[in-house]
């Protein structure tokens, strides 16, 4: 049995005790590397597969449910083309971002633990402020969107059972507020998991759930197409006449925002990369994980979005599994919606952890004694260190996101706004600018000009999508009353 042990803490604020043998370190100094990475923090254990599960959890989110509606606005030509375009942009710019995890040398350079750290060390100045504003507002918006989506899915389970019991005669209208509160309570408990590296198991479960409901949605779409005996939809989407010219423009713009949201994970890429072990270099593993997960998600998106459009045509609902495009078999729809809820429980944590880490790091720098912890023994498990600041602040954060979700329960339009506002700055602008800086690409060289044209083109798409989505939210506000959402 080893003699004395040393207890240390993981990235940011790890609270579970991990033991490394001092006898081994004293007798074999090199053995310290078994417990610590080159930055003095506990050894990271993430792999390509754990990173892929984090990405899939972040990417295949509730956004997949709005893709049939998005394709319906764009049509058979532009719909799939835009999805492929966004996937290629995401892979391309993610490779730039993965190279920013370490400053200088990809194998031994100084680590950047967060997206903001990367921007600070490579670009500096006002870029850091803008990055922080966009990143944390985007993360905040995403968790609100996930709260709304989870509550709608929980409401849909209750409604589908109501429809079944009344033989579809009862409209079964009900509020989603109680379900938002239930979801919030679950997140209050889960938000006490101290660090990103400890939620790998939650991401793995969530990734399985995302495949579950995507496959069910796809299967139901195939059955619906077979039942119809024809593939519905048109080359250009919903035609003018069915909607006005203005509505066509707004809805097409909003569809771009919905698809952008479906690919939004650059905002947590560096944080995910910070969980990876090395060798090989973290950048190499992250690029591989990105290619695997984006290939998988794009395949699912194409299948689910296109099959949903083929099944319902211009009448494709904004949320494929809760807009009651499908009523039967009700038990299968219930399983799909339950899988959505479980997935979003995990996804909420994936997107909240960077916010938690940022606030707690800032608080620790200002008040050094705020990290005081109380050890709680858990039978059969490592002891848990309770941090009162973490308990109070994370609880307040979850309560705030829940209340805002109850005030603005418009899933489709909120998804579009969040996707549009976060896409260009976080997925395109900062990765491109950091790449130019790191590679020392000369201003006005051919490569520099091409990268700037690419960035401006993506900016135009983001602006168009944002305008359309904001118009949709303003239209929703005319019909909704606070805390009185009905489905």
CA distance readout (Å), 256 to 76, 85, 287, 462, 469: 14, 11, 25, 8, 9
Higher pLDDT, 262 or 116: 116
User: What pLDDT is stored for residue 19 in this prediction?
Assistant: 44
pTM here is 0.74
Higher pLDDT, 69 or 159: 69
Tell me the mean pLDDT in the region 402-425. Answer: 74
Burial of 251 (C-beta count, 10 Å sphere; 0-12/13-18/19+): buried
CB 354 within 8 A of CB 267: yes
pLDDT at 20 over 70: no
DSSP 486: B
User: What pLDDT is stored for residue 448 in this prediction?
Assistant: 93
CB 413 within 8 A of CB 254: yes
Instruction: Determine the Cα angle at 241 with ends 240 and 243, to 5°.
Output: 70
CB 74 within 8 A of CB 252: yes
CB 87 within 8 A of CB 298: yes
Task: Give the residue from 476, 64, 164 showing the smallest Cα distance to 485.
Answer: 476
User: What pLDDT is stored for residue 424 in this prediction?
Assistant: 86
Model confidence at 270, pLDDT cuts 50, 70, 90, reads: confident
Helix, strand, coil share (%) of the chain residues, nearest 5: 70, 5, 25
Q: How many CB atoms lie within 10 A of CB 136?
A: 17
Model confidence at 26, pLDDT cuts 50, 70, 90, reads: very low
User: What pLDDT is stored for residue 153 in this prediction?
Assistant: 83
């Amino acid at each position: 049995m080893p003699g004395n042990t040393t207890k240390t803490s993981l990235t940011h604020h790890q609270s579970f005790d991990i033991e490394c043998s001092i006898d081994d370190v004293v007798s074999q100094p090199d053995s310290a590397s078994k417990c610590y990475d080159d930055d003095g923090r506990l050894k990271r254990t993430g792999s390509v597969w754990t990173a892929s599960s984090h990405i899939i959890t972040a990417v295949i989110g509730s956004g997949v449910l709005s893709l049939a509606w998005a394709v319906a606005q764009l049509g058979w030509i532009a719909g799939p083309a835009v999805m492929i375009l966004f996937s290629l942009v995401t892979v391309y710019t993610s490779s730039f971002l993965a190279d920013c995890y370490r400053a200088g040398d990809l194998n031994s350079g100084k680590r950047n633990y967060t997206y903001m750290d990367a921007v600070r060390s490579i670009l500096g100045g006002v870029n850091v402020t803008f990055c922080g504003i966009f990143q944390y507002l985007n993360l905040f918006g995403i968790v609100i969107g996930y709260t709304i989506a989870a509550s709608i899915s929980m409401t849909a389970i209750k409604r589908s059972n109501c429809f079944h019991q009344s033989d579809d005669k009862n409209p079964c209208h009900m509020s989603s507020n109680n379900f938002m509160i239930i979801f919030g309570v679950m997140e209050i408990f889960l938000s006490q998991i101290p660090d990103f590296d400890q939620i790998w198991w939650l991401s793995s479960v969530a990734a399985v759930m995302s495949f579950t409901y995507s496959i069910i949605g796809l299967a139901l779409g195939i059955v619906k197409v077979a039942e119809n005996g024809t593939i519905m939809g048109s080359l250009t989407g919903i035609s003018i006449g069915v909607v006005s010219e203005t509505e066509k423009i707004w809805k097409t713009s909003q569809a771009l925002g919905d698809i952008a949201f479906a690919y939004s994970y650059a905002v947590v890429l560096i944080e995910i990369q910070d969980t990876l072990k090395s060798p090989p270099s973290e950048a190499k593993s992250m690029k591989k994980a990105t290619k695997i997960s984006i290939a998988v998600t794009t395949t699912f998106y194409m299948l689910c979005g296109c099959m949903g459009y083929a099944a319902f045509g211009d009448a494709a609902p904004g949320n494929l599994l809760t807009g009651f495009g499908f009523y039967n078999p009700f038990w299968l729809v219930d399983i799909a919606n339950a899988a959505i809820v479980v997935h979003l429980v995990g996804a909420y944590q994936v997107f909240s952890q960077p916010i938690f880490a940022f606030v707690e790091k800032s608080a620790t720098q200002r008040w050094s004694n705020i990290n005081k912890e109380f050890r709680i023994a858990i039978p059969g498990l490592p002891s848990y260190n309770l941090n009162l600041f973490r308990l109070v602040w994370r609880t307040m954060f979850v309560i705030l996101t829940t209340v805002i979700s109850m005030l603005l329960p418009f899933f489709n339009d909120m998804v579009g706004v969040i996707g549009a506002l976060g896409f260009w700055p976080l997925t395109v602008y900062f990765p491109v600018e950091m790449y130019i800086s790191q590679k020392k690409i000369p201003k006005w060289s051919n490569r520099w000009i091409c990268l700037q044209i690419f960035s401006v083109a993506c900016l135009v798409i983001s602006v168009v999508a944002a305008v359309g989505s904001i118009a949709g939210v303003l239209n929703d506000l005319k019909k909704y009353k606070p805390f009185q959402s009905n489905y």
